[in-house]
Chain A
């Protein structure tokens, strides 16, 4: 029943008049993969999704779905289904009507339509809502209906355009889990666009982090989190955000280390992608949860933010602000002094000018 297509974008170029949205864009999505396009607004991710759907024309390049070149095909012939940010439900039809309208127009027999609608409704737990109108539903329910409308199409690829952005935080968390369960159950190919890095980390098999119309990094959530390829990815992914310290690369007795005003952090054990020159301006990044106590870097506690399950301490290392995550029951107060250790294998070094990982 499930087709599970792979998607291939080759050399895509999208432009509106003289404004280029995407240029020479390539991306391969494997069968049954859940890939997330993550990035700030304006990076081109939604446009790319619309192009895959066939709602936007390419100026150059090709789109292949399931081994077929669909570049010139209408959306209905591409074997895709789409879920929108604003749900886009037909307001004057019931839920059942919304879910079955496309199939009815395509000429599917009523019995088949009913079967598909009931299956999808059961999967999404909206069976008791089938005779209601969208105006009578809550945001979360509407989004489930929108997903249901996509499911009944039994598509090869499911496209999600920021589907949870209009929901409040709690509903977002609930539906996130639903979508992940759906993917485990159907093993369908899903392409998901969002600006929320938590959604990306929890849902994706692979994430494509985008900025300024270019893929900054393509990898598993683990890769993206642990070894961000550049400063942008490092700062965009992870909450609370990564700490950044500006400084220079230096050699102390032949050993590589990071030097900033009054501090010297040894870099022995750091896996370099590229070795910088001594004296080069670099930035050091470290996540709050990797900052450890019990070293020889003196820091003063300025403020503590209790966050329920843990607390976030704001310190000053030399004259640099630094945030540090601690368990909720660790006694700490502002004004205290701490000795810090920044383990080299948890560090991330970036070239100060280009932002590339070193």
Chain B
């Protein structure tokens, strides 16, 4: 039979144990909170994520659908080569002439063969039937209220302080919820690592002062990249924002995408 003395000491022991456990995470957080700047040898040393705010915008009128961006992204980031895995891709929209006089425009044909890599083959729609056609590059929309980060059950995908949405491949459990939650189709499950993957805005390049690979190789500057917190002289991003009326994709969903599209058509989803 327990007597009151041993019961009390048991209670004290339990309370002490719980107290120690409860303060451990606070102590850990205090230790790690001091370091905000990248410190390890392999990374761009001295980079402070809280001092930058990256953004890429798209000028649809400039895109010529050469697909160099999609190829460069796959090469730069080691993306699996299949046709179902793209961090960025290009879509071609062909709006046909209306069949009857009363209609505004005809059917819309959209395609993205192999994500646009290698350019687009000639469309099957005869040229004389085409009212309007254009290319639209697609990528992660860098949402202000990312539904993907909201959906992740473990905290493996997140919004960084510098405006990028990343996946932590060593923490991702591969449930695929974030992929379902993204309205823009920009995420995929990597068949080799079995984790979710997406455009990282070439985080390993932008932290070293380079441009993302897609923006680097785009021959027509359809992809405009910059740092909102540190605009350069004649910053193309600032020019873009000042000059254009812009659109975002699926605004009704409330994800507040930060990627701005200029000169886009109503048919683009």
A binds B: no
Q: Which residues from chain A sit less than 8 Å from chain B, CB to CB?
A: none
